[in-house]
Every structure is written in structure tokens, then in C-alpha cells.
Chain A
Amino acid sequence: DTGVSQDPRHKITKRGQNVTFRCDPISEHNRLYWYRQTLGQGPEFLTYFQNEAQLEKSRLLSDRFSAERPKGSFSTLEIQRTEQGDSAMYLCASSQTIFYEQYFGPGTRLTVT
């Protein structure tokens, strides 16, 4: 297994456009997490999936953000009507249920102009 992969690695978009990111977790991992990280900060939790079920969502998450994991494998994170404040690194991580240790992907860097 090559680890957690994310696509694209970089995305530049204009304010108001919609963007979608993809995360492919490690195949046997049933837990999947999305985080956002800005400069000088640690990863900020966005949402969590156990298989295909979205079990946790940050109360700070705007309604413009939505995530799916339709078959319990890959996941997508969509941001609608992007704003400049959405510019950040978006990280995906996966883990097995019985372990807390998460494995992170390389991230998708979003720049909203």
C-alpha cells in the first residue's frame, strides 16, 4: 500500500467557484478524517467518517463545506462558493478502528484569488 493519497495537490480558484478534493485512504482503514491547516497553526478538525457514515462534523464548519464517503473507501470534500478565507492546506487522514494513530496524506493546497 502506498499510503493515503490526495488529489489534486494544488488548486487555484477564483472566489465564488466550487472546488472538490479527493482522498484515497489506506485500503484497510475504515476511519477517515478531514482537516484544514493554515500557516502557523495545527491541523483543525473538519469532519470524520466511520466507513460511509459521517459521524462527526466540526461546529465551525460552514454550510458551504460538504463531505462524502459513498462506499466507505475514497472520500470527497467540496467547498461551494469559495472565499479567500478558505485558502489553506486540506489534509486527509485515515486509521483503523482499534488504533488511534492516523496516517496523513500530503494534503491539497487551496488558493482562492
Chain B
Amino acid sequence: DQQVKQNSPSLSVQEGRISILNCDYTNSMFDYFLWYKKYPAEGPTFLISISSIKDKNEDGRFTVFLNKSAKHLSLHIVPSQPGDSAVYFCAGTLITGNQFYFGTGTSLTVIP
């Protein structure tokens, strides 16, 4: 069962504009959410996270928003840069952190 879903396989954005990547989840018991970025031939790299008790977390150009009632989170990248071109995965976990559930990823292309 796919507990975390990323319904947009790909996204193209002009450099300097905002990139918005979306993620939906089904398990209301998830306590923590994370976003990872992945370049080809490399393992995923942690980007930003958010606890279920918050609705927003910001780190530089990256902001994650959490809407618990809608079971939805989004990652905003402002301004987008060509180096941001990668596959982005969202993941959720229970409070134990024993198991993480990943979405299928969104491939972001930032056009110079």
C-alpha cells in the first residue's frame, strides 16, 4: 500500500521562479515528514523536514508546508536554480522512526 504519494512525476520551472512540489499521505499517525533530493547515480540527500506539530518549516530557499487535515505537504523552492534540478522524494514516519515511507518522486527541471 502506497502510504505516501507524489502524483506529479515531473515539473519544469524557469530559473528564478517558484517550484512547488506536492505530496499526499494516507496514514494520519505519521509524526514526521522529510524531503530528500536525489541526483543520478547518488543516494538521496536530506533537504528539509517538518514535525506534525508544525505547519511550516523554512530553511533558506526551501520551505515545507504541512496541512494535516488534508494530509498534504508541499515543498516550495524560491528562487529556483538550475542546480535544483533533481528528483525530489517526500517521506513520512511514525514517532518511533523505525520505518520510513517514501513517495515515488517528482523530477524537477529548472530551465536557465
Residues of A in contact with B (beta carbons under 8 Å apart): 4, 31, 33, 35, 40-45, 48, 55-56, 58, 91, 93, 95, 100-107
Q: Which listed residue (A31, A40, A43, A44) contacts B44, Cβ 8 A?
A: A43
B74-112, CB under 8 A of A: which get 1 and which 0?
Answer: 000000000000000101010001111111110000000
Asked, given contacts A100-B34, A105-B43, whether A45 binds B104 with beta carbons under 8 Å apart, the answer is: no
Residues of B in contact with A (beta carbons under 8 Å apart): 4, 6, 9, 32, 34, 36, 41-46, 49, 89, 91, 93, 97-105
Check B34–A106 contact: CB distance below 8 A.
Answer: no
Question: How far does the alpha carbon of A100 sit from the alpha carbon of B4 in the complex, in Å?
Answer: 17
Question: How far does the alpha carbon of A107 sit from the alpha carbon of B4 in the complex, in Å?
Answer: 22
Q: Which listed residue (B9, B43, B98) contacts A104, Cβ 8 A?
A: B43
